[in-house]
Structure 1
Amino acid sequence: MKKILMTASALALGATAATAGGIERSSQSTAILFEKGNYAELNFGGFSPDVSGVGLNAAMTGRSAHSGDMAGGYGTYSFGYKVALTDKIDAAVVLENAIGADVNYPTGTDYFLQGSTATIDNTSLTGMLRYKLPQNFSMIGGIRALRTSGVVSLPAVGAYRMSSSTETDFGYLVGVAWEKPEIAARVALTYNSKITHDFEARESSAYTGGATLDTVFSTTIPESVNLEFQTGIARDTLLFGSVRWVHWTQLEIAPTHYTVDMGQDPLVAYKDNTFTYSLGVGRKFNDKWSGAVVLGYEKSSGETTGNLGPTDGFRSIAFAGTYQATDNVKITAGVRYVDIGDAVTNPLISGDFSDNSGWGAGVRVGITF
């Protein structure tokens, strides 16, 4: 039961995740460390949001205009490899895209931000160790490397454009876990440090006459805390979930020319930190099949948001199923529906974004050897 259901719950929690807190695409789970023996997994997923709103028209006359769908769909991936070094030490490495953004306000809408685009590209590589202690406790530690870059174009804001350098910087993670295998119980608490990138940027706008300025700015990818848990509640039935806190007020994307010379607010900044919750149930149907359903929730803050991220919280439901193809190969697939929270953007050029949603799907192949 444990071997099959833990895979279904992990996919439902992670691989089809919506963007929590704005730009997050990975929950930074340590679950792979608890797989038995030597193990490898490959995950592919995608999320297709539909985010649109109503705000000022391009001429700023006060007449409202519809933005069209400004949130591009995106794919997610991860590769994980875990090995039992000794009977007390496990090691794992995970390659994934931890954060990202794909903003594209369509042209031809007469919305004041029509034609604006922004992307954040990222690759994350995490190495982790788990050391088993007496009484079913264990310690977790590791190092995470983030490689990040970004591009933005805002025709309606002084014909502004910016492209950043690609920077690689490092952080760490530490945690503790407790297990009771006879009832499939486990609790893991992990802290992920912040990581600061010092970017070089090329900025231009109408204020420079289109000339390019070479500038520098810093951005902090925020620290976070994960609480992941599971326990058997009946024969062949598993209850699982997580609570994730992210210190989003540490994140600010504020290129120098845009904020200092042009006097604009940061491109991205958050006024509140977030708690993201998930709770699910997994069930083994027979020796080949098991399934899971999981609910997700992130509270809306009620604060105004930036125009490059006009969402505020979400509610979601996901379904996943696992097929034990052979003794050492398992295949999991899942789908997720997300009710994206309503948001009102910066009141100086306000937009009202409501009744938005998205669909996600993912596939995981896990191999034990």
Structure 2
Amino acid sequence: MISGNLKTLVAVLAASAAMVSGVQANGFSRGNADTDIIYEDGRFDARLGVVYTTPNRGYETINGAAVTDSDYSDSYAVPTAAAKFNITEDLRCAGTYTQPFGADVSYGPQAIVAGLTADRKGTASMDFVANELGLTCGYKFKAGPGNLWLLGGAFVEDISYHEGTFVGGISVANNFTTLELKENYQPGYRLGAAYDVPEIALRVQAMYRSEVVHNLDGTFYAPAALAAGSIFSNPSAVGSATLPQSFEIKAQTGVAPGWLVFGSVKWTNWAAFDVLTYTSALGAPANRKEFYFKDGWTYSLGVGHKFNDKLSGSLSLTYDQGVSTTEDVHGDTITLASGVQFNLNEMTKISVGGAISHLQGGSVALSTGAGGIGPGHKFAYTVGDDWAYTVGANILVKF
């Protein structure tokens, strides 16, 4: 019977999907909340995992000249945690944690000098991360040969942003400033529905995740040469940004004993994340980071196979449409991912996997606006086709 062979495969798909999400380049997307744990058949289930990604992205040219700086993209890890409990057999809830968005970059001396030459500000590093805590519930009732699920819940999301910048001309002693902004947890929500037929491992799910508007505050530090060594505290440094809403449809079905096919399509409203604005007591560094992203689409297709009672695996291909328009280079990404799951016993399953991603190159023109404001960057640059590598693991425990 198909269901007997595919019961393990349904779990390995959730594990492999988490590994792919850590490498998708749709804007600054990172992890997805593990709401699929709702469908696990235990009375209480918990899954912990981490995905580690090394994106090899660097400048090829700056203002037409070849660059020898090392890659500016930093490696990062995305943790996930989820715990599901059955209130009744038909009503289940899952608590989840992940980092849905983030970015980490460190620039080399040629990029810093190019910034100083353009407007006396050379960015050395930037990073931001958002943390999400959520509670999602699902209620199922019989409908035809399967079950109709109503899904919904709430989450809270925080954000923190750091930037280090050299300020001054290239012929004078530069001064290093730091900007720290953050906002504590702000609310959002999820709504969705699904239909499944467990006997043939069929499931179709649609899920919407709301946007979250953040108003940040923090500190801006400038050394003695700029501000007598002062630290300007909240509200001297303030900022705002909108992290995007998304909508995803996922489907899977058994096609033969031991075989499962699956796919998904996801829309992310990255156009809402056009600029990160911020101001400080000194008016420095520049008061906005421009992105001008367009909405992104992600498509995935894969197959899973149960080799024996202890071992199952999956292979998937994901196409992530680039979101760049006139700023940055977030081009098309193609990811090949594979995962395997080991059943240690009836209560414990371990999944490991990896992925390789091809990152499309591109170019950004010089901005014609004063101070680099408006379409284009304050210096022109190109990046080539690059690669990113990901490894991940998680453990599922049933009680």
Confirm or deny a common fold (TM above 0.5): yes
Q: Give the conservation status (yes or no) of the 8 Å contact 1:41–1:79.
A: yes
Partner residue of 1:354 out of 381, 384, 387: 384
Q: Does 1:4 align with 2:8?
A: yes
Task: Give the whole-Å Cα distance in 2 for the aligned partners of 1:355 and 1:215.
Answer: 37
Q: In structure 2, the residue corresponding to 1:312 is in which secondary structure? A: coil
For residues 10-159 of structure 1, the aligned pairs below 5 Å read 10-16=14-20, 17-37=22-42, 38-56=44-62, 63-107=65-109, 112=114, 116-135=124-143, 136-155=147-166
TM norm structure 2? 0.83
**Compared with structure 1, are the counterparts of its residues 368 and 157 closer, same or farther at alpha carbon in structure 2 (3 Å cutoff)?**
farther
Deviates more, 1:7-16 or 1:316-325: 7-16
Match of 1:170 in 2: 187
TM norm structure 1? 0.89
Q: In structure 1, the residue corresponding to 2:9 is in which secondary structure? A: helix
Task: Give the whole-Å Cα distance in 1 for the aligned partners of 2:78 and 2:323.
Answer: 26
Task: Give the whole-Å Cα distance in 2 for the aligned partners of 1:359 and 1:192.
Answer: 27
Q: Does 1:317 align with 2:347?
A: no
Deviates more, 1:169-178 or 1:5-14: 5-14
Amino acid at match of 2:187: F
CA RMSD of aligned residues (A): 2.6
Task: Give the whole-Å Cα distance in 2 for the aligned partners of 1:201 and 1:345.
Answer: 31
Deviates more, 1:131-140 or 1:184-193: 131-140
Task: Give the whole-Å Cα distance in 2 for the aligned partners of 1:125 and 1:119.
Answer: 20
Q: Deviations over 1:294-345 (max 9, x none)?
A: 1011123562333xxx331200101111111101111110000000121323
Match of 2:270 in 1: 248
Task: Give the whole-Å Cα distance in 1 for the aligned partners of 2:131 and 2:108.
Answer: 27
CA shift at 1:215, angstroms?
3.2
Q: In structure 2, the residue corresponding to 1:15 is in which secondary structure? A: helix
Partner residue of 1:343 out of 341, 350, 362: 362
Q: Give the conservation status (yes or no) of the 8 Å contact 2:161–2:180.
A: yes
Deviates more, 1:155-164 or 1:19-28: 155-164
**Compared with structure 1, are the counterparts of its residues 162 and 2 closer, same or farther at alpha carbon in structure 2 (3 Å cutoff)?**
same
Amino acid at match of 1:84: N
Task: Give the whole-Å Cα distance in 2 for the aligned partners of 1:252 and 1:270.
Answer: 4
Partner residue of 2:197 out of 161, 176, 180: 180
Q: Which runs of 5+ in 1 are unaligned?
A: none
Task: Give the whole-Å Cα distance in 1 for the aligned partners of 2:201 and 2:276.
Answer: 46
Match of 1:290 in 2: 312
Q: Deviations over 1:197-233 (max 9, x none)?
A: 1111434679x93466513222111111111111011
Q: In structure 1, the residue corresponding to 2:114 is in which secondary structure? A: coil
For residues 273-288 of structure 1, the aligned pairs below 5 Å read 273-288=295-310
Match of 2:322 in 1: 300
Q: In structure 1, the residue corresponding to 2:100 is in which secondary structure? A: coil
Task: Give the whole-Å Cα distance in 2 for the aligned partners of 1:250 and 1:109.
Answer: 28
Q: Give aligned-pair identity as a percent.
A: 24
Q: Give the conservation status (yes or no) of the 8 Å contact 2:268–2:296.
A: yes
Q: In structure 2, the residue corresponding to 1:215 is in which secondary structure? A: strand
Q: Give the conservation status (yes or no) of the 8 Å contact 1:304–1:343.
A: no
**Compared with structure 1, are the counterparts of its residues 109 and 176 closer, same or farther at alpha carbon in structure 2 (3 Å cutoff)?**
closer
Partner residue of 1:329 out of 336, 343, 348: 348
CA shift at 1:155, angstroms?
2.4
Amino acid at match of 1:345: V
Task: Give the whole-Å Cα distance in 2 for the aligned partners of 1:28 and 1:80.
Answer: 8
**Compared with structure 1, are the counterparts of its residues 165 and 231 closer, same or farther at alpha carbon in structure 2 (3 Å cutoff)?**
same
Deviates more, 1:280-289 or 1:32-41: 32-41
Task: Give the whole-Å Cα distance in 2 for the aligned partners of 1:359 and 1:333.
Answer: 14
**Compared with structure 1, are the counterparts of its residues 216 and 301 closer, same or farther at alpha carbon in structure 2 (3 Å cutoff)?**
closer
**Compared with structure 1, are the counterparts of its residues 368 and 249 closer, same or farther at alpha carbon in structure 2 (3 Å cutoff)?**
same
Aligned residues: 360
CA shift at 1:256, angstroms?
3.2
Q: Give the conservation status (yes or no) of the 8 Å contact 1:13–1:278.
A: no
